[in-house]
């Protein structure tokens, strides 16, 4: 069976790292592929109840692919929605590059 916790931790690592290394000034084709990546990720994520809520979240707040900062902040907010749902502490989104670009804390 799918281990929702370890799948989640690995997935957030992939997503936040991908966002942290996304260009500051993406070309139109990079914005297209990032939008597609996020939306197809949400459609295929192998935890169905997670996927349902994540898809709803993305529908309400469409992915922001205009820059590294926009994408990283958007993703931080989506992750915080899950944190709230699970009763976890929310993450300070001003620290997203400290955590995922400049050096991981754990
Ligand atoms: P994680 O939440 O996995 O976080 C890993 C690390 O990311 C943290 O240690 C912290 O350093 C950093 N971090 C925390 N919050 C943020 C943030 N907002 N922005 C940037 N960095 C941050 N689990 C469920 O039980 N139910 C669900 O519905 C559910 N939905 C999910 C949807 C998606 C799209 C994903 C990727 C995961 C989902 N999960 C869900 C899994 C859940 O979010 C956690 O990954 C899992 O509970 C393990 O939590 P963790 O404490 O190891 O830290």
ipTM strictly over 0.90?
Answer: yes
Is 91 near ligand 1, meaning CB less than 6 Å away? yes
pLDDT at 101: 94
Contact criterion met (CB below 8 Å) for 36 and 2: no
pLDDT at 74: 98
The CATH number of domain 4-102, selected from 1.20.120.310, 2.130.10.30, 3.40.50.300, 1.10.645.10: 1.20.120.310
- What does R_g of the chain's alpha carbons equal in angstroms? 13
Contact criterion met (CB below 8 Å) for 20 and 12: no
pLDDT at 4: 97
pLDDT at 92: 98
CA 83 to ligand 1 centroid distance, Å: 6
pTM: 0.97
pLDDT at 1: 87
- CA 42 to ligand 1: nearest atom: 34
Residue 46 corresponds to which tokens in the numbers above?
């192998």
CA 24 to ligand 1 centroid distance, Å: 25
Is 54 near ligand 1, meaning CB less than 6 Å away? yes
Entry field: residues in the chain? 106
In the chain, which stretches have pLDDT less than 70?
A: 104-106
Is 59 near ligand 1, meaning CB less than 6 Å away? no
pLDDT at 102: 81
3-state secondary structure the chain: CCCHHHHHHHHHHHHHHHHHCCCCCCCHHHHHHHHHHHHHHHHHCCCHHHHHHHHHHHHHCCCCCCCHHHHHHHHHHHHHHHHHHCCCCCCCHHHHHHHHHHCCCC
- Domain edges within the chain: 4-102
* Ligand 1 pocket, mutate which of 8, 15, 41, 53 (most atoms under 8 A from CB): 8
């Amino acid at each position: 069976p799918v281990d929702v916790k370890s799948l989640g931790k690995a997935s957030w690592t992939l997503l936040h790292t991908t966002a942290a290394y996304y260009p500051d000034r993406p070309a139109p084709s990079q914005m297209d592929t990032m939008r597609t990546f996020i939306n197809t990720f949400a459609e295929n994520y192998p935890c169905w109840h997670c996927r349902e809520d994540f898809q709803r979240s993305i529908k309400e707040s469409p992915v922001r692919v205009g820059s590294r900062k926009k994408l990283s902040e958007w993703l931080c907010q989506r992750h915080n929605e899950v944190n709230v749902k699970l009763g976890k502490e929310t993450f300070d989104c001003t620290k997203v590059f400290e955590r995922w670009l400049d050096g991981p804390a754990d």
